[in-house]
Amino acid sequence: MYLNIMLTLDEIGRKSAEYFNDTDLEQKMWQQVVDIGEKSRTIYTNDPFLSEILYIQLLALYSQKEYQQLKSKTEKFLMTYPDYRMIETVEDWYEKALEELSGDN
């Protein structure tokens, strides 16, 4: 259920920015996605679909350009879910976070 909510919030945010130039709402929706990910991390520790929820959380952090949080959460994700189906994307986000934080962009 959370996964669907997160995807819907993400879509609302993106369309608000695209059609109405409402980047404030876009940021608020992404923050809601991040918050749902954090809540899920504590509640659903053994859920087999937690990785899907956390992946969407990482996507929101990447979209927000929250590179410090992205770095920290991708490190945990990479260690916890090394065989995740979209691991290459997570690795790319991690590299982007490292690049941005180092100032070599």
Decide which of 45 and 89 is more confident.
89
Q: How far apart are CA 96 and CA 3, in angstroms?
A: 24
**Residue 21: DSSP 8-state:** -
* Mean pLDDT along residues 17-33: 96
Could you give the number of structural domains in the chain? 1
Domain, as residue range, for 31: 2-102
Q: What is the pLDDT of residues 44-87, one digit of tens each?
A: 988 989 999 999 999 999 999 999 999 999 999 999 999 999 99
Token pair of 87 as six digits: 């691991």
The pTM of this model reads 0.90
Q: In CATH, what number is assigned to the domain containing residue 77? A: 1.25.40
3-state helix, strand, coil in the chain (%, to 5): 80, 0, 20
